[in-house]
Amino acid sequence: MSERPGLQDDLQSLERFRDWLQSLVAAQQPLEEWSMSREQLRERWLPRLQERDHFASSLYF
C-alpha cells in the first residue's frame, strides 16, 4: 500500500506540531523538576496550588 503525498505532508505537519508542543513544555518546566519524584513534585507544588485555589475562591465569595 503506497502512501499518498497528502498523507505524508499531514504526518510531517503533525510531527512538527508535536515537536513545537514539546518545546513549550520543556520551556515551562524547570530542569530540576525533570529528575524529581512524584512525591517531591507534590510537596513542591501542592502548597502553591492550594494558595491559588484559596485566592480564586475568595474572588467569588
Mean pLDDT calculated for residue range 46-56: 79
pTM exceeding 0.75? no
DSSP the chain: -PPPHHHHHHHHHHHHHHHHHHHHHHHHS-GGGGG--HHHHHHHHHHHHHHHHHHHHHHH-
pLDDT tens, position by position, 20-40: 988 888 777 777 887 889 999
> Residue 35 to residues 14, 31, 32, 40, 45: CA-CA distances in angstroms?
28, 8, 6, 10, 15
Spatial separation of the C-alpha atoms in residues 44 and 60, rounded to whole Å? 27
Least confident of 7-11, 12-16, 56-60: 56-60
Give the pLDDT of residue 60: 58
Residue 16 scores a pLDDT above 90: yes
